[in-house]
Amino acid sequence: MADTITMIDNRTGKKYELPITYGTYNNYGAAISTMDLRQIKSSDDDFGLLGYDPGFTNTACCRSAVSFIDGERGILRYRGIPIQELAAKSHYLEVAYLIVNGELPTKTQLEEWAKQINSHAMIHENIKKFMDGFRYDAHPMGILVSTVAALSTFYPEAKDIDNPAVRLQQIQRLIAKMPTIAAFAYRHSKGLPYVYPKDSLSYTGNFLSMMFKKSEGAYELNPMLDKALNVLLILHADHEQNCSANAARSVGSSLPDPYVSIAAAAAGLYGPLHGGANEQVLRMLNEIGSKDKVPEYIQKVKAGEFRLMGFGHRIYKNYDPRAKIVKEMADQVLEVTGKTPLLDIALELEKIALEDPYFVERKLYPNVDFYSGIIYQAMGFPVEMFPVLFAIPRTAGWLAQWQEMLQDPDRKIARPRQIYTGSDTREYKPINKRK
Ligand code: MLT
């Protein structure tokens, strides 16, 4: 079998044979290069054929070895390891190492990685002052995006992106400082004094302490909540070429330092269609109000009055494997934090929707955002913090994608084409002649 495809241009009758390239699995990643389409011209002065794909729905923008998703079968693996295994057996810092470096660490490598990240958790006092400058009611995600970009001015050496040691130091700094910036952003919005990171605490323990510590005493870490947070961080650590990862790669392709590339990624995450989606789910569950109102709500969704938030995904045409794990964890978390009627409403909504042909035919299954907001809220996080909670773990994924892009021999500055739909050449009209 020839690994080519033959195309006939019916405008000219000409035949073209284009090569097909493959990823690791033929059925995931067989592709033609859209540059090969350029030779297809209707006349000699024709520019050549472009691929048109708004939102990249069927365009691979890179080759990547970080995450693998089989959306039809509901599979997600980081560096080949199924997320179910990582969620059950690992912890976030180990997964971050795996995602960034491609392999699970040895004991010594993990200790060194954790030590470095711990040592970079503190932020410069001037960064703290910078954060103080935000309005008292500033959205924590706005603070996070700006503060991460501002880190660029504190580490000018980070511009040396071709130096692996420099890159590693910025990667460790970013993974380390994200929880600190996130917690400071939250405490700023509440007018609470900042709590500094402590060497003796774990990554997740530190974050919870910086968020919720109240008085002089030590923050009492509940092991169940620590575990739950670890699982949630693991599940959000990477998700191949999503909007924010694409922003990290696209901005990074002009070769700035990683702080501005990661700030761009965080900005991509901010919107309600990406990192803000679980907030929409929570608002929907609150609006429904009680379990018995679910059938009525479903009817309204089917009538086109509302969207069912937290259902459906561009890539998954099956249950999002992350949602399954989060759902299983919800009960355990609520056991510690106390019950919320929102979980019952969510379970009922899922049950009815999964039996209803309307949703089944459209392959609308719960995605990761459907249950995560319930857990975060039960743990005491306000809804404004939800996209921030997504940004903390996704930093490892963004950095892995950014580094992979830099090391890719096919790397080019991101520069899509367009299909021009404006007017043909026109004359400039003086203002007194315009109608
Ligand atoms: C993600 O985890 O980034 C979201 O599910 C969005 C996506 O993959 O498109």
Percent with pLDDT over 70 in the chain: 100
* 216: pLDDT strictly greater than 80: no
Distance CA 277, CA 298 (A): 19
pLDDT of residue 28: 83
In the block, residue with structure tokens 């073209």: 16
Which contiguous run of DSSP H or E holds residue 362? none
Distance in Å, CA 274 to ligand 1 centroid: 7
In the three-class reduction of DSSP (H, G, I as helix; E, B as strand; rest coil), residue 433 is classed as: helix
Cross-strand pairs, 5: 18
- Regarding the beta carbon of 362 and ligand 1, being less than 6 Å apart is answered no
Start-to-end Cα distance in the chain: 64
Q: What angle do CA 40, 46, 50 make, to 5 degrees?
A: 50
| Structure confidence by residue, pLDDT tens digits, 348-371 | 999 999 999 999 999 999 999 999
The residue-averaged pLDDT of 219-231 equals 94
Q: What angle do CA 278, 197, 156 make, to 5 degrees?
A: 90
Q: Return the C-alpha torsion angle 184, 185, 187, 188, nearest 10.
A: 110
Distance in Å, CA 45 to ligand 1 centroid: 41
What the block records as the tokens of 240 is 């191949």
What the block records as the tokens of 116 is 């470095």
| Banded model confidence at residue 37, pLDDT cuts 50, 70, 90 | very high
Closest CA to 229 of 379, 8, 27, 22: 379
| Banded model confidence at residue 217, pLDDT cuts 50, 70, 90 | confident
| Structure confidence by residue, pLDDT tens digits, 233-279 | 999 999 999 999 999 999 999 999 999 999 999 999 999 999 989 98
| CATH 1.10.580.10 matches 65-405 | yes
| Structure confidence by residue, pLDDT tens digits, 134-179 | 999 999 999 999 999 999 999 999 999 999 999 999 999 999 999 9
Domain regions of the chain by residue span = 4-56, 65-405
Percent with pLDDT over 90 in the chain: 94
pLDDT of residue 26: 78
* 195: pLDDT strictly greater than 80: yes
Distance in Å, CA 314 to ligand 1 centroid: 8
Closest CA to 322 of 78, 133, 111, 118: 78
Q: How many DSSP H helices and E strands does the chain contain?
A: 17, 5
pLDDT of residue 274: 95
Closest CA to 267 of 246, 241, 292: 246
pLDDT of residue 215: 75
- Regarding the beta carbon of 239 and ligand 1, being less than 6 Å apart is answered yes
